[in-house]
Amino acid sequence: MDVAREILARARAVGSRSIAVVGTSKNAGKSVVVAALTSALVNEHRVFGLASIGRDGESFDALVAAPKPRFFLREGAVVATATVLLPRTPGLEILEVTGERCALGPIAIARVRAPGYVEIAGPPQASAVRRIVARLATYAPFVVVDGAVDRIAALRGGDDAIVLAVGAASAPTFDRAVEDIAALAARLALPLHDGSGEAIVVVGALTARAAAEHARSFGRMPIVVADPTRIAFGGRTFLELREHLDLRCEHALRPVACTVAPIGLERAFEPRAFARAVAQRTGLPTYDVYAQAVA
Amino acid sequence: MPWNAATAEAIGATWLLDAIAPAGSFGRRALARERPFLRGDEDAARDAIARVASLAAKMSAGDLAAMRAAIARAPDCADVFVRATAGATLDDVDFFELGRLIRAIDEVARFVARESFAARAIAEVRAALEPGTTNGYGFYLADAFDATLARERARANAAQAAFDAERSRIGERVANFAGIEHVRDGEFVLMRDAIASVLPQEIRVVREAPTYFLCEVALDDAARDALAQRDDAIACVSAAEEAVRARLSRAVADAAMALESACDALGDLDALVARAQFALAHACVVPEIASDGGYALVDACFVPLRDTLAERGRTYAPISLELDGIGVVTGPNMGGKTVALRTLGFVGACVALGVPVPARAARVVLVDDIVWLGIGANADPDDGLLSSFGREVIGLRAFLARDPRRAIVLVDEFARTTSPREGRALSIALLERLRERGALGLAATHLAGIATAAKVAHFAVGGLRAFAESPAPLDFDAALARIARAMDYRITRGDEDAAASSDALELGAALGLDAEFVARARTALGDARTPD
């Protein structure tokens, strides 16, 4: 099986024209998944765009010299990245210099004209990410977004299929890693509010404290947020509070799969057991890109 | 600027600067180079305003908007020119931006003479970049730039294909061994229980665990050779690409000075277009700029207020006023005294900035200082420790210390927060001082007899006529509209009427004060008048 091709099929099945990979933490294997997706799109001879949500952690990767997959892109791919990161060789076709900026300066959109490596960086603001993805969509029918640890807000307002990545490096223990991905999956898969009955409508973000107070005051009356990214707490707190709350949203997101990176620098989990546990707790098809396997 | 921040707010100069803000970075730079027209700059001011008026007369609003949009699209390439001139090799984004700049200039040149924009230099750079222009907007270091580049790229493509074939050959063997569809680049996992025999030499184990191997593909000699040849070919592509970039950079360096002057011209045009758009949008006229005398305005508008009223569906009454020296304007509340002051200041700001004046006709003089004193001059030099009166006095003291050769001073109910008797005395002293200095100014007040005492001109607002409709509506906007219909905003010059009313009680009723309250005030007014 080709794991990346299966993930792409799941994205297409829900009608998405873009796919965003987000992780529970750094080194969750997001970039490995993105590289696999781009490789699968190349094999399908599809033109695609590639963007990043911020660039946090890239400098940290350099510090710890962690082996991260580089994006080796073939002719036709369209990338959004900081102008200073555009490779001099092989030269890319510059399509536009956007009005968006990241920490490294202005962001350009460029088309790959010859095979080579490209490092991508994106804007820090969620709204700017959406604008970049929209611009990429004018050049490519499908867009892949490399997520950042703490930039889930960038999913807001998009129709991305979402892939959740978790790795052995993400948490100190097997159980904790599984719990983190279960919480993220549950948060992003918040059910839609059907508009019937009484509900507490939260404007803006829902904090853990506010959620706990609502639970005390209103029991299981539905709490409605605009979309799952407005839930401002995750992990164990989310899982515990969820037991006492009926959380819903006005605009649902589309989590379609999980991926596991079972081997990290400091620890490794048994690949099959890890993938099985993640699939069981999240209820999502879970892929191991390293082993080309599904749980 | 010949005004401080508080005055800028009061006379609408801040609003005006926003309204005539250039669209692009070159224009902003041009604006920063400008200095306001002061006394002695009459000829320059006349020329500047005439240029704006000429452009506004020649071009339609649509063409001006199109030109502004084209200017806004011009990227700021100042840094590119500097680096090219310093001998640096530019990068592809620089060439892309230069292409955008040239296209923006081409677009602007549809409307104005191309000679303004270093036509020859631009043509040379355009020709140099032309082979790299893709789809009319992109830039790529295309093969057409150089035969060597094309040759090296063909070699690199072939080398990449050869390496891909070698990599695929090994990858297929590994995939067959592992029973998977294909092997990913980088590290991959093989489960021990899925392996039937010893690992082949194409697989290098990175890490072993009880249930799996973490592996990567090991290249054989043939693949390593192909990889080396590919890397060598890419290095040659790199050298060829850099050679083309260096050649293009020299072409840009040769034209850099001319391009910079073209950008300056673009900036000047940007600032000019913004002013012309303002002039066209607000039916402005070229004022007569006299060396001496005062202001004579016919149907002048304080545009920020006119726009606000228009948003609320209300009409604005333009102001006509002839002011030569110092004057005092009196009249009812809400009668437009303050607007008259603001209009004078706004017209002064327009002329200082080289902008035609929103009026039917205007005669003006240039001044070195525009000063707002009284209500609205809220700049507090002492972080809120000063009272309203203290702030007014500090503002006055600062103005008196400056002693400009010529100023226009706008005084809105000066010293109204002290006792009427002492406020009147201070106002008279201020007007006398201004008159002695030969300043131009207008003071709005409710205090009677000030103009006569200070020996300055007196102006009166027409005042409140009988309301055509009654009773007062409850809706605030409707009440204001009703008052506006009943108010005669015209300002006429004449003697002071000591018994003139401010119409405060009628206006209070019109704004919804209850009848009993207003009746009580009328009684109190009668009582208050008795001792006089």
pLDDT digits (tens, 9 = 90+) for B453-474: 888 889 988 777 777 666 666 6
Q: Are B338 and B453 in contact (CB under 8 A)?
A: no
Q: Answer yes or no: do B311 and B378 share one domain.
A: yes
Rounded CA-CA distance A269/A168 in Å is 6
User: Is residue B138 included in any domain, yes or no?
Assistant: yes
Instruction: Give how many domains chain B has, as a whole number.
Output: 3
Q: Answer yes or no: do B276 and B298 share one domain.
A: no
Residues with Cβ within 8 Å of residue A27, at least 6 apart in sequence: A66, A167, A169, A170, A261, A264, A265
Summarised one tens digit per residue, pLDDT across range A80-90 is: 999 999 999 99
Residues with Cβ within 8 Å of residue A62, at least 6 apart in sequence: none
- Which three-class secondary structure state does DSSP give residue B179? coil
Rounded CA-CA distance A146/A126 in Å is 13
Summarised one tens digit per residue, pLDDT across range B413-437 is: 887 777 778 888 888 998 998 888 8
What is the structure's pLDDT at B385?
A: 67
Best of A97, A117, A292 to substitute, by most chain B Cβ atoms within 10 angstroms, is A292
Q: Answer yes or no: do B454 and B380 share one domain.
A: yes
Summarised one tens digit per residue, pLDDT across range B91-108 is: 999 999 999 999 999 899
Average pLDDT over residues B269-287: 95
Rounded CA-CA distance B408/B368 in Å is 8
Q: What is the DSSP string of A89-155?
A: SSPPEEEEEEEEEETTEEEEEEE--SSEEE-----SSHHHHHHHHHHHHTT-SEEEEE--TT-GGGG
Q: Answer yes or no: do B486 and B378 share one domain.
A: yes
In DSSP terms, B441 is beta-bridged to B326, B409
CA distances from A180 to A210, A229, A267, B14 (A): 21, 16, 17, 53
Q: Which residues of chain A are at the B interface, by a Cβ-Cβ cutoff of 8 Å?
A: 1-2, 32, 35-36, 39, 67, 69, 72, 83, 86, 88-97, 108, 111, 113-116, 262-263, 268, 270-272, 288-293
What is the structure's pLDDT at A56?
A: 45
Q: Look at the alpha carbons of A216, A218, A222, A223 in this order and tell me if their dihedral is positive or negative.
A: negative
Q: Which residues of chain B are at the A interface, by a Cβ-Cβ cutoff of 8 Å?
A: 75, 91-93, 95-97, 100, 134, 137-141, 153, 156-157, 160, 180-182, 184-191, 207, 209, 211-212, 214, 234, 237-238, 241-242, 245
In chain B, residues with a C-beta closer than 8 Å to the C-beta of A69 are 185-186
What is the structure's pLDDT at B520?
A: 81
What is the structure's pLDDT at A67?
A: 42
What is the structure's pLDDT at B313?
A: 84
Report the residue count for chain A: 295
Lowest mean pLDDT among A197-206, B124-133, B400-409: B400-409
- Which three-class secondary structure state does DSSP give residue B234? helix
CA distance A36 to chain B (A): 7
Mean pLDDT taken over chain B:
88
What is the structure's pLDDT at A68?
A: 42
CA distance B110 to chain A (A): 24
- Which three-class secondary structure state does DSSP give residue B403? coil
Between the CA atoms of A16, A19, A25 and A26, what dihedral angle is there, to the nearest 10 degrees? -170
What is the structure's pLDDT at B525?
A: 75
- Count of beta carbons in the 10 Å neighbourhood of residue B4: 19
In chain A, residues with a C-beta closer than 8 Å to the C-beta of B160 are 114-115
Tell me if B191 and A271 make a contact (CB, 8 A cut-off).
Answer: yes
User: Is residue B526 included in any domain, yes or no?
Assistant: no
What is the structure's pLDDT at A270?
A: 93
Output the furthest CA–CA distance in chain B (Å, rounded). 121
Helical spans, DSSP H, in chain A: 3-13, 30-43, 58-64, 126-137, 174-188, 208-218, 235-242, 271-282
- Count of beta carbons in the 10 Å neighbourhood of residue B418: 17
CA distances from A66 to A61, A88, A265, A266 (A): 5, 24, 8, 11
Tell me if B156 and A114 make a contact (CB, 8 A cut-off).
Answer: yes
Residues with Cβ within 8 Å of residue B441, at least 6 apart in sequence: B326, B327, B407, B408, B409, B410, B411, B431, B434
User: Is residue B532 included in any domain, yes or no?
Assistant: no
B339 Rama class: left (phi>0) / alpha (psi -120 to 50) / beta: alpha
More confident residue, B134 or B388: B134
Q: Answer yes or no: do A62 and A141 share one domain.
A: yes
Closest-CA residue in chain B for A107? B93
Summarised one tens digit per residue, pLDDT across range B191-245 is: 888 888 889 999 999 988 888 999 999 999 999 999 999 999 999 999 999 999 9
Per-residue burial over A42-70, b = 16 or more CB atoms within 10 Å of its CB, e = otherwise = beeeeebbbbbbbbbbbeeeeeeeeebbe
User: Is residue B10 included in any domain, yes or no?
Assistant: no
Q: Answer yes or no: do A196 and A74 share one domain.
A: no
* Beta strand pairing call for A200-201 and A222-225: parallel
Lay out the sheet containing B326-330: strands in order across: B369-374, B407-412, B440-444, B326-330, B457-464, B487-493
What is the structure's pLDDT at B178?
A: 85
What is the structure's pLDDT at B249?
A: 97
- CATH number of the domain that residue A38 is part of: 3.40.50
Best of B129, B184, B187, B245 to substitute, by most chain A Cβ atoms within 10 angstroms, is B184
CA distance B211 to chain A (A): 7
Rounded CA-CA distance B486/B449 in Å is 26
Best of A1, A73, A94, A113 to substitute, by most chain B Cβ atoms within 10 angstroms, is A94
CA distance A82 to chain B (A): 11
What is the structure's pLDDT at B388?
A: 74
Rounded CA-CA distance B190/B168 in Å is 18
- Which three-class secondary structure state does DSSP give residue B450? helix
Write out the residue range of the structural domain in which residue B475 sits. Answer: 291-500
User: Is residue B12 included in any domain, yes or no?
Assistant: no
Report the residue count for chain B: 532
User: Is residue B506 included in any domain, yes or no?
Assistant: no
Angle A183-A185-A186 from CA coordinates, rounded to 5° = 65
Tell me if B181 and A263 make a contact (CB, 8 A cut-off).
Answer: no
What is the structure's pLDDT at A65?
A: 47
Average pLDDT over residues A189-217: 90
Omega within 30 of 0 (cis) for the link into A90: yes
| Tokens at B36, concatenated | 């306001």
Q: Is the pLDDT of residue B512 over 80?
A: no
Q: Answer yes or no: do B79 and B218 share one domain.
A: no
Tell me if B190 and A291 make a contact (CB, 8 A cut-off).
Answer: yes
Q: Answer yes or no: do A105 and A39 share one domain.
A: yes
Backbone angles phi, psi at B284, to 5 degrees: -80, 160
The conformation of residue A292, written as its DSSP 8-state character, comes to: T
Helix (H) or strand (E) holding B291: none
Cα B129 off chain centre by:
33
pLDDT band at B530 (very low <50, low <70, confident <90, very high): very low
| Tokens at B162, concatenated | 């050869």
Residue B385 half-sphere exposure, CB side, CA atoms within 13 Å?
4
Tell me if B237 and A94 make a contact (CB, 8 A cut-off).
Answer: no
CA distance B124 to chain A (A): 21
pLDDT band at B38 (very low <50, low <70, confident <90, very high): very high
Helix (H) or strand (E) holding B294: none
Rounded CA-CA distance A282/B377 in Å is 64
Lowest mean pLDDT among A29-38, B35-44, B67-76, B331-340: B331-340
More confident residue, A241 or B518: A241
Lowest mean pLDDT among A120-134, B48-62, B113-127: B113-127
Write out the residue range of the structural domain in which residue A235 sits. Answer: 190-249
Q: Answer yes or no: do A18 and A61 share one domain.
A: yes
What is the structure's pLDDT at A7?
A: 97
Summarised one tens digit per residue, pLDDT across range B292-316 is: 889 999 999 999 999 998 888 888 8
Tell me if B186 and A35 make a contact (CB, 8 A cut-off).
Answer: yes
Summarised one tens digit per residue, pLDDT across range B344-383 is: 999 999 999 999 999 999 999 999 999 998 776 655 555 5
Rounded CA-CA distance B392/B398 in Å is 10
Q: Are B364 and B347 in contact (CB under 8 A)?
A: yes
Q: Which residue in A1, A88, A113 is closest to B140 by CB distance?
A: A113
In chain B, residues with a C-beta closer than 8 Å to the C-beta of A88 are 91-92, 238, 241-242, 245
Q: Answer yes or no: do B462 and B405 share one domain.
A: yes
Q: Answer yes or no: do A37 and A103 share one domain.
A: yes
Rounded CA-CA distance B336/B329 in Å is 10
Residue B35's Cβ-count burial label (10 Å; 0-12, 13-18, 19+) is: exposed
Output the furthest CA–CA distance in chain A (Å, rounded). 62
Summarised one tens digit per residue, pLDDT across range B126-172 is: 999 999 999 989 999 999 999 999 999 999 999 999 999 999 999 99
Residue B97's Cβ-count burial label (10 Å; 0-12, 13-18, 19+) is: buried
Q: Is the pLDDT of residue A57 over 50?
A: no
User: Is residue B393 included in any domain, yes or no?
Assistant: yes
More confident residue, B359 or A56: B359
- CATH number of the domain that residue B473 is part of: 3.40.50.300
Q: Are A177 and A24 in contact (CB under 8 A)?
A: yes
Tell me if A88 and B209 make a contact (CB, 8 A cut-off).
Answer: no
What is the structure's pLDDT at B480?
A: 79
Q: Answer yes or no: do A164 and A270 share one domain.
A: yes
Summarised one tens digit per residue, pLDDT across range A154-195 is: 788 788 999 999 999 888 999 999 999 999 999 999 999 988
Closest-CA residue in chain A for B157? A114
Tell me if A86 and B187 make a contact (CB, 8 A cut-off).
Answer: no
Tell me if B189 and A290 make a contact (CB, 8 A cut-off).
Answer: yes
Q: What is the DSSP string of B496-527?
A: --TT----HHHHHHHTT--HHHHHHHHHHHHH
In chain B, residues with a C-beta closer than 8 Å to the C-beta of A39 are 184-185
Average pLDDT over residues B515-527: 78
Instruction: Give how many domains chain A has, as a whole number.
Output: 2
Backbone angles phi, psi at B340, to 5 degrees: -60, -45
Beta strands in B375-429 (DSSP E): 407-412
In chain A, residues with a C-beta closer than 8 Å to the C-beta of B100 are 97
Q: Answer yes or no: do A237 and A181 share one domain.
A: no
Helix (H) or strand (E) holding B244: helix B221-281
Comparing C-alpha atoms, which of B399, B406, B456, B400 is closest to residue B431?
A: B456
Question: ipTM, 2 decimals?
Answer: 0.88
Q: Answer yes or no: do B373 and B409 share one domain.
A: yes
Q: Is the pLDDT of residue B532 over 80?
A: no
Q: Is the pLDDT of residue B400 over 90?
A: no
In chain A, residues with a C-beta closer than 8 Å to the C-beta of B153 are 90, 114
What is the structure's pLDDT at A62?
A: 46
Average pLDDT over residues B392-398: 80
Q: Which amino acid is at A21?
A: V
User: Is residue B4 included in any domain, yes or no?
Assistant: no
Tell me if B185 and A72 make a contact (CB, 8 A cut-off).
Answer: yes
**How many Cβ pairs within 8 Å bridge chains A and B?**
109
* Beta strand pairing call for A116-118 and B133-134: unpaired
Tell me if B189 and A89 make a contact (CB, 8 A cut-off).
Answer: no
Residue with tokens 């011009």: B74
Q: Answer yes or no: do B320 and B267 share one domain.
A: no
Tell me if A97 and B97 make a contact (CB, 8 A cut-off).
Answer: yes
Average pLDDT over residues A232-261: 92
Q: Answer yes or no: do A159 and A269 share one domain.
A: yes
Q: Answer yes or no: do B302 and B168 share one domain.
A: no
In chain A, residues with a C-beta closer than 8 Å to the C-beta of B134 are 93
